[in-house]
Amino acid sequence: MLIALAAELRDRLTLAQSARPTAVFLLAGPEIAHEKDAIAHALADVLGYDWDLYNLGDPDLTAARLFRSGPSGPLPGSLQHQLMRAPHSVIVLDRIEQAEPKVIERLVACWCSGVIVDSARIRIPTKGAIFLLTTAVAQDRLGQIGRDDLSADQRHLACLKIMSDEGIPAHLLRRVDAAFCLEGMSMHDLARACRHRLEQQVAAHGLILAGDGLAPEVLTCAMTSALGVSALAFKHRRVALDRRLVQCRKTGVTHVRLVMDDDEIGVEPIETVIAAGIHKPA
């Protein structure tokens, strides 16, 4: 999916376009560990763009608030203020399926015209922006599309068909340049990905996570965090783990095991082979 997104974006950046936004992309399908947000952040980082996220599922984020303005122009936090401050921005519009009709009308209008006309009559171009729409609808069906052997055009049309069936307005879907579906993960894939992340964290400190060096309780904690349960608590545990790994490395340890130590992730040194058949505590 990332390769397809990169290819589509490359084509759009190299084409001579009108005043429309650089791209309006749709990211759909099952999500693990906020992948859609991570994709947006990585995209902005690679391009050197700024980025901002608007949660359209927030009932307080009305059209008046998203496009709010004062007598002298756009107010901080508004979409047009972001684009005035950083014309080259990745704009994430999260939960597009929950946006109120007036929000969708204003978005479609600014994509069609290439400008947001502020209430102070200031015209803010959208040409340099990339809009990423995200959705949580029909995750299983959209995930299957991501796994099917389809061409980019077939996947785009199949995705938009499902979105239309879910009630997403047709005039918004017509403005989507390309739709991309996350494939989702099996629990086996998720476990493997979580172990890999912890291995990378350990390796960053010059240490090696032994083959049997991950306690089941630690892996379970990592997996539930990836699924959105106690994610913040696990993030704090990983920060504390970094401190423990630093201290462990200072002792000359090379191989470690990660275990649960009360509510934290503990680090245990394990034996390593230093000569033929001779073991020494690390």
Task: Delineate the domains of the chain, giving CATH numbers in brackets.
Answer: 2-181 (3.40.50.300), 187-280 (no CATH)
pLDDT at 67 over 60: yes
Lowest-confidence segment of 101-115, 221-235, 261-275 by average pLDDT? 221-235
Angle ∠(155,182,108) on CA atoms, nearest 5: 65
Average pLDDT over residues 259-267: 91
> How far, in Å, CA of 105 to CA of 109, rounded?
6
For residue 71, which amino acid is it?
P
What tokens were used for 219?
A: 């892996």
> Where are the extended beta strands (E) located within the chain?
23-28, 50-55, 69-70, 73-74, 89-94, 115-117, 123-125, 130-134, 178-181, 208-214, 255-261, 264-269, 272-275, 278-280
pLDDT tens for each residue of 83-92: 999 999 999 9
Average pLDDT over residues 29-46: 73
Residue that has been written with the tokens 């340049």 in this structure: 177
Average pLDDT over residues 10-23: 73
Lowest-confidence segment of 7-11, 132-136, 265-269 by average pLDDT? 7-11
| Helices 152-165, 139-147: inter-axial angle, 10-degree rounding | 170
> How far, in Å, CA of 252 to CA of 218, rounded?
24
pLDDT at 172 over 60: yes
Of residues 281 and 175, the one with the higher pLDDT is: 175
pLDDT at 263: 86
pLDDT at 61: 94
pLDDT at 208: 93
Lowest-confidence segment of 3-17, 49-63, 74-88 by average pLDDT? 3-17
pLDDT at 255: 93
Q: What percent of the chain has pLDDT over 70?
A: 85
pLDDT at 278: 41
pLDDT at 241 over 90: yes
pLDDT at 202: 94
Smallest CA-to-CA distance from 185 within 226, 233, 218, 225 is with 226
pLDDT at 276: 36
Average pLDDT, the chain: 84
Band (16; pLDDT cuts 50, 70, 90)? low
Lowest-confidence segment of 14-23, 54-63, 95-104, 173-182 by average pLDDT? 14-23
